[in-house]
Amino acid sequence: MRHVRPLTGRGGAAGLRRSTRGHETLAPTLPSTRKNRTVPAPPQHRGGDKRVRRGKQLVSASFDLHGHTQDTAWRLLPQFLAREQARGAQCVIVITGKGRYGDGVLRRNFLHWLDLPEARGLVSGFAPAHARHGGGGAWYVFLRKR
């Protein structure tokens, strides 16, 4: 271990702090905007997730958030969900991307956006997408019936 040096420029020690005993411990470092947020509950009907993964339920449309800022993504997401609900869609895919290091801003905020009043009335549930539909960078969103 003596020949190992910490990585520079990647924030490798950002979550570490020194304790009084001299050894390093892991301390959670969350952005101040996320301290009081809670992640909404997963869908009540897990069967919808299984049906989509098995190919028994069609995915009506997809919405790709790549290239959007947080503001434009949040403005367009409820419009997309409302339009697809009006068309009678039951399930859509929203592609958030993984972001750099697997914790992108759009991916991180997506679940909180679904819990806001603008989207809560449209969405009955959500689940992470299967690898053939985008994997960790995409979500199935199950829409309420009109």
Write the CATH number for 63: 3.30.1370.110
Task: Evaluate whether residue 124 is within a structural domain.
Answer: yes
Average the pLDDT over 39-47 and give the result.
55
Task: Evaluate whether residue 11 is within a structural domain.
Answer: no
What pTM value is reported for the model? 0.65
Residue 17 amino acid letter? R
**So what's the pLDDT on residue 29?**
39
**Residue 103: pLDDT over 70:** yes
Burial (0-12, 13-18, 19+ Cβ within 10 Å), 100? exposed
Helices 70-86 and 105-114: crossing angle in degrees, nearest 10, is: 50
Domain count along the chain: 1
